[in-house]
Amino acid sequence: MSLTFVGLGLFDEKDISLKGLERAKEADVIFAEFYTSKLFGAKKEDFEELFERELRVLSREEVEQQQKPLELAHENDVVFLVPGDPMISTTHTDLRIKAMENAIETQIIHASSIFTAAPGLSGLQNYKFGRSATVTFLSRGEVAESPYNAIKQNKENGLHTLLFLDINEEKNRYMAPNRALELLLKIEEGRQEEVIGRENLAVVVSRAGSDDVEVKVGEVNDLLEFEFGEPLHSLIIPGELHFREEEALRAIRKG
């Protein structure tokens, strides 16, 4: 029996690879999760029509605590559908390790990811990105400082920072770039380490993988006032720029 992790890509049901589609149609059981990210161009029913099969969407608890895909993979060929590329999230890596420890055959079928899409769309060189982080919603009124720390560390090494914006799929909450920038500025106000300010350059990538994709380049102060439209969004804080990267950002800004 087996557990196959299948990437769904960035936006809708058409982003899955032919190999992933074939594997899903052959499986005994198909699970999916949409709490690490969400494909805004497709609903559960779209995937079920594509696969001609029933699809069960799992909650975070069912994946991380109950490990439902692993539980059924002892006696079935299970496919686990994941937004983007399957192994970007450590949750899925942990699940695969547990499967291997239990002598369950595993396979990974990769797909497009924001890790490659954001650099490509922005014109920034992908090998110049450092540690990424997530700008999270407030927890008990407190701001998590891990994204600020990532920007600081990356800037010290001349690297760009890709920031994911928090989502709460169950409550239909998706952080806007404006809010993410406000939170980063709030941390800067408290720490005063000149990591990010209103004059800093930033890049927002919106709806990657869709026909309505948008890339906005500007100073933080200007981006705070911009209306970015529907999610999902990602935020890039550039480090040191190669002249080709500068050309790309200028072209996007003029366009």
Rounded mean pLDDT of the chain? Answer: 95
Verify that 160 and 188 share a domain, yes or no.
Answer: yes
pLDDT 10s digits, 55-70? 999 999 999 999 999 9
pTM over 0.85: yes
Residue 68: the pLDDT is 92
Convert 97-133 to b/e letters by CB count within 10 Å (16 or more is b).
ebbeeeebebeebbbbbbbebbbebbbbeeebbbebb
CATH code, domain with 208: 3.30.950.10
Kindly report the backbone phi and psi dihedral angles of residue 120, in degrees, each rounded to the nearest multiple of 5, phi listed first. Answer: -65, -45
The mean pLDDT of 61-89, rounded to a whole number, is: 93
Is 7's pLDDT higher than 80? yes
Residue 139: the pLDDT is 81
Tell me the residue range of the domain where 39 lies: 2-109
Separation of alpha carbons 209 and 44, rounded Å: 18
Is 255's pLDDT higher than 90? no
Count of all residues that appear for the chain in the document: 255
**What's the angle, vertex CA 216, arms to CA 85 and CA 130, rounded to 5?**
50
Verify that 119 and 176 share a domain, yes or no.
Answer: yes
Is 91's pLDDT higher than 90? no
Kindly report the backbone phi and psi dihedral angles of residue 51, in degrees, each rounded to the nearest multiple of 5, phi listed first. Answer: -85, -20
Per-residue three-class SS string for 34-102: CCCCCCCCCCHHHHHHHHCCCCEEECHHHHHCCCHHHHHHCCCEEEEEECECCCCCHHHHHHHHHHHHC
Verify that 9 and 98 share a domain, yes or no.
Answer: yes
The number of distinct structural domains making up the chain is 2
Verify that 84 and 101 share a domain, yes or no.
Answer: yes
Verify that 158 and 209 share a domain, yes or no.
Answer: yes
Verify that 94 and 179 share a domain, yes or no.
Answer: no
Backbone CA torsion sign across 78, 82, 88, 91: negative
Confidence of residue 90 (pLDDT cuts 50, 70, 90): confident
Verify that 101 and 119 share a domain, yes or no.
Answer: no
Nearest to 244 by CA among 126, 157, 117, 163: 126
Separation of alpha carbons 106 and 96, rounded Å: 7
Verify that 170 and 234 share a domain, yes or no.
Answer: yes
DSSP 8-state secondary structure symbol assigned to residue 202: E
pLDDT 10s digits, 173-197? 999 999 999 999 999 999 999 999 9
Q: Is residue 78 within 8 Å of 58, Cβ to Cβ?
A: no
Is 140's pLDDT higher than 80? no
Is 1's pLDDT higher than 90? no
**Token digits of residue 102:** 């239990």
List, in order, residues 6 or more apart from 237 with CB less than 8 Å away. 151, 154, 155, 160, 161, 163, 196, 200, 201, 202, 203
Verify that 237 and 168 share a domain, yes or no.
Answer: yes
Q: Kind of pairing, strands 201-206 and 214-219?
A: antiparallel
